[in-house]
Structure 1
């Protein structure tokens, strides 16, 4: 059931044109309609007080959270309270015990629960009027242990491309009142060159032992000016790093070399909203191959797709019509499949007076965004690698085939252990195969 939930997307939104979003935003900037009219009716004193209250509330909340988590006694108390609440909910719902290793129980040291700082924190928590976040019996249906795809191998956004974000300087922003918050000001007409739509998307892969289910691989932020091929080049994929075989005169494998990491793909395609964007390589286009394959199916089972007029390297995201929560298919490197979903909603620098679907899929550039390096990698699922069979401590980088000293063939070893083994006596019967380099 958990895998089924993770592989379920939707319901999808209505088709959204990125070009129309940019056009509407450009028109709104020129006309000044992004200014909230209600702010014009307030006095400057009230404006300053409201802005100070908003800024103070966020900083106060952040400070209070940091004070709790930086204090071992308080953070331990909060964790114990959460564990006991979860256990109570599971007991009331008669939910099955989670599989795998049992969670560690937090045992309170003697006297810690009666500490003055703990009692003071609990009084503050009990005084909170917000009750909608409390765990009910129905919450047990959505509880599960953390999976590998929930963790992020990155501690900060990673720059993976050369895209540059055009932003607006605060000096170019004109407002009818200096007290109007930055997020509600209208820029001057000569400041429209900053318009870039930032689109957040998540890439999913098929699970090897459950091909009908998907798991999250990575998350990226791309610019509307970048192409589909720019996205494909930065998607972490083991098939793009497979060692290259070397054949001898008789056609047998004589060795392996690692790829040059140039990002080139031997054929690829994107299937988006019924259009197939191929690579237009010197050989047969991948899009033509796919359509020719579908023509062999019975007419009632043929997917309704057509070849796009442009290739993936010529198609920018600004030329696409997309839907949020709708999986789109990627095929490359022969038979390697990925799916990407437009799914993240983030706040922008300027707001429309009414919430529309256009500012859901994209947002305008914000001064806090990195100025360059797009596409950005926002999330990367940690890779589970095989450990060295000799030391059992570090990931293996070599697969040794035909070495009698190791007791098994192939045998996975790390680089230091293989160097320690020394050269084999009969080099002709031993082959060293480099393992796939994971991002």
Structure 2
């Protein structure tokens, strides 16, 4: 896998040291707050007014799309130009005022020029968010002390090229939570189809996964098998070592992590994901949500492995007639195969998702 997909990783960040209280932290923040005349909240309020006003938001959107189209046409003269509706003779006064402010803005990045063309692309599936609001998985009182907000994304290999990955979701979790809690946030049909619907904060759950973090494998009994397997495969690579504690006892605050570094997570035998930290910040005292999902990309349905035409409706376990386990199959292909005499073969219906 090409690690350049995530950008160069940062240096190791010791979470415990990052959130350790200092005598000057609150004083510095207080001085900074009292010395500024404008905050991010003021900018956010201005943007909310703009986007909630139909005439203004429509003008900004149309102006941006026209600029992008013009830049692409200039860089590719052979490309057929799209027809463009003429601009109206008269704009509403509020639109004219807004455009006048944009024209005199000294912010150079607000104007796209020819140098921006190499960095422009069409929207991808992963750019869209199926969530209208963040999905809170756990709330209530936060345990006393300082905590970090760890924002991470989950990446999967794309079916048509296993050397590439695509982001499927993004989440936030407080640092006092465990690796097991992080795993519960991961959206995966194979995970959901093979475990019971167990609510959060109900005690330890069966360890069905292993995650490799900075050369250490965490996953209770599951990681021992993986460490032994990888150790037998290659003697040239730095060997993995087993974590001191299991995933239910290992708090994120006890780890040292890198931003931009993909951490490998595998579960259910051969279903793998990559966990990439996006940012680490200090949680405010008002923060009550322990874990929440910020982004879920629109689901690309897994096609049947047999006909490769129809979305899969079943995942089949332990069937020697198939090339993999679990193996996604559509209803007609599974019926045509017929039931197996092997009692260990288990057909499991793929679940429907509620992602709102």
The TM-score by the shorter chain falls in which range?
A: 0.7 to 0.9
Moved more, 152-161 or 68-77: 68-77
For 2:278, the equivalent position in structure 1 comes to 343
TM-score, with length taken from structure 2: 0.75
Kept in 2, the 8 Å contact 1:266–1:332? The answer is no
Kept in 2, the 8 Å contact 1:89–1:140? The answer is yes
Query: Residue 281 of structure 2 is aligned with which of 362, 367, 371?
Result: 362
Listed as ranges, the matches of 1:26-425 within 5 Å are: 26=21, 28=22, 31-32=23-24, 34-36=26-28, 39=31, 53-54=37-38, 58-59=41-42, 61-62=43-44, 64-94=46-76, 107-108=85-86, 110-113=88-91, 115-161=92-138, 164-166=141-143, 193-242=144-193, 260-262=196-198, 267-279=208-220, 285-300=221-236, 302-344=237-279, 361-367=280-286, 369=287, 371-372=288-289, 374-385=290-301, 410=331
Kept in 2, the 8 Å contact 1:199–1:362? The answer is yes
Q: Distance in 2 between matches of 1:119 and 1:314?
A: 59
Q: Count the aligned residue pairs.
A: 316
Q: Distance in 2 between matches of 1:212 and 1:95?
A: 33
Q: Deviations over 1:62-118 (max 9, x none)?
A: 4544444344443333223212211222233238869xxx9x8663564345x4444
Q: Distance in 1 between matches of 2:211 and 2:269?
A: 13
For 1:416, the equivalent position in structure 2 comes to none
Moved more, 68-77 or 224-233: 68-77
Tell me: CA distance 1:148–1:197, structure 2 relative to 1, closer, same or farther (3 Å). Answer: same
Q: Distance in 1 between matches of 2:266 and 2:28?
A: 45
CA shift at 1:278, angstroms? 1.8
CA shift at 1:366, angstroms? 4.6
Q: Distance in 2 between matches of 1:90 and 1:206?
A: 30
Tell me: CA distance 1:39–1:322, structure 2 relative to 1, closer, same or farther (3 Å). Answer: closer
In structure 2, stretches of 5+ residues that fail to align are 200-204, 304-310, 315-329, 334-338, 340-346
Tell me: CA distance 1:112–1:239, structure 2 relative to 1, closer, same or farther (3 Å). Answer: farther
In structure 1, stretches of 5+ residues that fail to align are 41-46, 167-192, 245-258, 280-284, 345-360, 388-395, 400-408, 413-427
Q: Deviations over 1:303-360 (max 9, x none)?
A: 432112111111111110111111111111111111111112xxxxxxxxxxxxxxxx
Q: Secondary structure at the match of 1:343?
A: strand
CA shift at 1:381, angstroms? 1.5
Structure index of larger Rg: 1
Kept in 2, the 8 Å contact 1:22–1:197? The answer is yes
Tell me: CA distance 1:69–1:108, structure 2 relative to 1, closer, same or farther (3 Å). Answer: farther
Kept in 1, the 8 Å contact 2:312–2:331? The answer is no
For 1:12, the equivalent position in structure 2 comes to 9
Q: Deviations over 1:152-205 (max 9, x none)?
A: 222222122367424xxxxxxxxxxxxxxxxxxxxxxxxxx4412221111111
Kept in 2, the 8 Å contact 1:294–1:303? The answer is no
CA shift at 1:145, angstroms? 1.5
Q: Distance in 2 between matches of 1:213 and 1:150?
A: 16
Kept in 2, the 8 Å contact 1:240–1:265? The answer is no
Tell me: CA distance 1:215–1:366, structure 2 relative to 1, closer, same or farther (3 Å). Answer: farther
